[in-house]
Amino acid sequence: MKLDRRLLGLLGPERWLVVLIGSVSLAAAVLIVLQARMLSRILSAVFLNGGDLNEVLPWLGGLLVIGSLRSGAVGGIEVISGWLAIRIKDNLRRKFLNLLLDSSPSLVQQENSGEISNTFINGVEALDAYYSQYLPQLVVAAITPLTILLAVFPLDWLSGLVFLLTAPLIPFFMVLIGKGSENVTRRQWQALSRMSAFFLDTLQGLRELKQWNRSRGHAERISRVSEDYRKKTMEVLRVTFLSALVLELVATISTAVVAVQIGLRLLYGLMPFEQAFVVLLLAPEFYQPLRLLGQRFHAGMSGVSAANRIFGWIDSVPHLDKISTKTAPLFQSGGVIRFENVHFRFPERETAALRDLNFEIRYGESVALVGSSGSGKTTLASLMIGFIQPQQGHIWVNQHSLAEIDPRSWRRQIAWVGQRPYVIHGTLRDNLLLVAPQADELELKRAIQQARLDEVVGRLPDGLDTRIGEQGAKLSSGEIQRLALARAFLKNTPIVILDEPTAHLDASLEQVLEESILRLCTGRTVLMIAHRLPTVMRADRILVLQDGQVIEEGNHLQLIDQNGFYARLVQGYGGRL
Ligand SMILES: Nc1ncnc2c1ncn2[C@@H]1O[C@H](COP(=O)(O)OP(=O)(O)OP(=O)(O)O)[C@@H](O)[C@H]1O
């Protein structure tokens, strides 16, 4: 396995732990040599020279001390390795989460959420084996055999030569088998990601699947995906078994070669017993770290496959290093947001989603975006929030380019109310405080009243402290929209972006919310994506979008007078523009 430079790069400030593992393993290797020499000395003293217990007692004591120190060193390496893995996983999770939070929601595709969560949870966990097993073993395998070799050569150069010639066979076979194992491990990882994505999709769409009576058919697809994963896992196990067998065989044969040539020389009196016994004791110790490296190689391999996916994802998230730290100017009276020749294309699309956008929104103005599905309304709103950056042109906030402003400080001045508000798994209070953690009871109460959420709170068993379930499963769509509005009131920002919050609601509920929305828009700068004529008519200015371009601009009466696209939309109005 090639030591992926990026995996080593993740060590960062934790590098000293690897140095510590190296130092402890050097100490352990020296102890192995001392132990062998001491044991050989004791046996030679007792069996060949007829020594008694008193004579060898100090040696036995020394052996005990060395044995204990050696066990301590082995245990120490395990503990340091575990620690190293925990710290690296923790760092990586933090980095992953920060990237996810800083990335553009428009570019992190919904359909990838299953795979992203698999990478985040299982992928990072798979790195454990790399850092806690493979990497430390690599260090031990580099130090221990070398130390033993240096001790054996002065004692018996012939055995040293056998060690030197046979040792490279193990890494050689490991790399040879590793080539095949890289592919099967990657396929196994892909199958696991597919299975996770599929399972998450099923969970999210369970209601529709049941309603369409497709849950059984889906269960069969899940079992097919799981079967695929089982087959890929069996492939990995087959390769692992094969490689373990080959590596064990090489190590055993090599030990046997050393033992036989020493045995023959002992038989013919060509070698003293004490020397021969030291080399015999050291032979298995010489091959042991290399054998273990072979075993841990596969565990490390799954870490490398997972890392490829993690880095692939990290690299695919755009504009991450370019986040500016300049605080956004306060958007207040006299302020203006100006789009100048703005052009935006999604990376995987050939045609631009928005072209040649030139318009401005002045402080306190309300601007409605109208256009057919796919004309670019949501993309325009995403640009204004700073979720995505235009490839050409500029978005100015007063005299500052949005590209040079810290998007977080800009978003602090914007409240977004969309069609599918995000609801966290917690209480209603948690969900409200999400946008304004410092808000006091009075502010909460006022926001609740303004959004007409008080009726909902009154009906819930524990009021504000009722748990409302994942994705707001215990609230109706209208109630979730009120929650979103209450958040916007609580955030109390100068700019509000509305993405058809009442699109999926019935007429009576829409009217109730309409009143709250009006209150929210009063005195604020508003960009609203709207399909209902009464809402659009109220806007100070209407931008009509078609194929990513603004084709008409003006207020309702001006656009009717122009008798263009907007006028035709209004003529054919049947509840939605
Ligand atoms: N994440 C994305 N990746 C690639 N293309 C996208 C993405 N999001 C939107 N698009 C494409 O960009 C174009 C504009 O999409 P956008 O969502 O802005 O339209 P819209 O006017 O808001 O549509 P609707 O009224 O249906 O919500 C469409 O052609 C759409 O397919």
Task: Check residue 105 and give its pLDDT.
Answer: 66
* CB 346 near ligand 1, within 6 Å: yes
Q: Look at 22 and 221; give whichever has higher pLDDT.
A: 22
Q: What is the pLDDT of residue 413?
A: 93
Q: Lowest-confidence range among 347-356, 377-386, 464-473?
A: 464-473
Range scoring the smallest mean pLDDT among 135-149, 202-216, 302-316: 202-216
pLDDT at position 470 over 70: no
When pLDDT is cut at 50, 70 and 90, the band that residue 574 belongs to is: low
- For the cut 60, the answer to whether the pLDDT of residue 1 exceeds it is no
DSSP 95-150: HHHHHHHHS-TTTS-GGGHHHHHHIIIIIHHHHHHIIIIIHHHHHHHHHHHHHHHH
Quick one: pLDDT band at residue 130, thresholds 50, 70, 90? Answer: confident
Residue 562: its pLDDT value, please?
Answer: 92
Q: How far is the CA of 378 from the centre of ligand 1 (A)?
A: 7
Ligand 1 contact via 168 beta carbon (within 6 Å): no
**How far does the centroid of ligand 1 lie from the alpha carbon of residue 539, in Å?**
23
Residue 268 has pLDDT above 70, yes or no: yes
- Contact assessment for residue 258 and residue 283, using Cβ atoms and an 8 Å cutoff: yes
Provide the pLDDT for residue 323.
63
CA of 353 to the centre of ligand 1 (A): 7
pLDDT at residue 14 tops 90: no
Residue of 383 and 473 predicted with greater confidence: 383
Mean pLDDT of 31-57: 87
pLDDT of amino acid 202: 78
More confident residue, 316 or 265: 265
Residue partners of 531: CB distance under 8 A and separation at least 6: 370, 500, 503, 576, 577
Query: What is the predicted pLDDT for the residue at 575?
Result: 60
pLDDT score for 448: 93
CA atoms of 330 and 327, how far apart (whole Å): 9
Residues across the chain: 577
In the chain the first and final C-alpha atoms are separated, in Å, by 60
Q: What is the pLDDT of residue 114?
A: 66
For residue 498, pLDDT over 70 is answered with yes
pLDDT grade, residue 571 (50/70/90)? Answer: confident
Instruction: Write the CB contacts of 179 (distance below 8 Å, at least 6 apart in sequence).
Output: none
Distance between CA atoms of 435 and 415, rounded to whole angstroms? 9
Q: SS3 sequence, 335-352?
A: CEEEEEEEEECCCCCCCC
Greatest alpha-carbon span in the chain: 120
396 pLDDT higher than 80: yes
Q: What is the reported pLDDT for 273?
A: 87
Query: Percentage of the chain surpassing pLDDT 90?
Result: 36
Pocket test for ligand 1, best of 104, 373, 379, 497 (most atoms within 8 A of CB): 379
pLDDT, position 107 = 55
**What pairing do the DSSP bridges indicate for beta strands 414-417 and 541-546?**
unpaired
Reported as a pLDDT band with limits 50, 70 and 90, residue 112 is low
- Is the beta carbon of 179 within 6 A of some atom in ligand 1? no
DSSP state of 86: H
According to DSSP, residue 476 is labeled: -
Residue 436 has pLDDT above 70, yes or no: yes
pTM for the whole structure: 0.63
pLDDT in tens, 553-569: 999 999 999 999 999 98
- pLDDT at position 534 is 82
Domains of the chain and CATH, by start: 5-316 (1.20.1560.10), 324-413+493-576 (3.40.50.300), 429-490 (no CATH)
pLDDT attached to residue 299: 74
Least confident window among 309-313, 443-447, 535-539: 309-313
Neighbours of 2 (CB within 10 A): 9
The winner for highest mean pLDDT among 5-19, 193-207, 249-263, 289-303 is 249-263
Cβ–ligand 1 contact at 353 (below 6 Å): yes
* Whole-number percent of the chain with pLDDT over 70: 92
pLDDT value at residue 111: 45
Residue nearest to atom 5 of ligand 1 (CA): 346
Pocket test for ligand 1, best of 378, 504, 536 (most atoms within 8 A of CB): 378
Identify the residue whose C-alpha is closest to ligand 1 atom 24: 373
- Asked if residue 472 has pLDDT above 60, the reply is no
CA of 548, closest atom in ligand 1: 14
The answer to whether residues 380 and 497 touch, using CB atoms and an 8 Å cutoff, is: no
Backbone angles phi, psi at 393, to 5 degrees: 80, -175
Mean pLDDT, rounded, of the chain: 85
Question: SS3 string of 204-271?
Answer: HCHHHHHHCCCHHHHHHHHHHHHHHHHHHHHHHHHHHHHHHHHHHHHHHHHHHHHHHHHHHHHHCCCC
Read off the pLDDT of residues 62-86 as tens digits, 9 standing for 90 and up.
999 999 999 999 999 999 999 999 9
Ligand 1 atom closest to the Cα of residue 376 is: 18
Residue 400 parent element (H or E) = strand 400-401
Is residue 141 within 8 A of residue 264, CB to CB? The reply is no
Q: Name which residue leads in pLDDT, 28 or 459.
A: 28
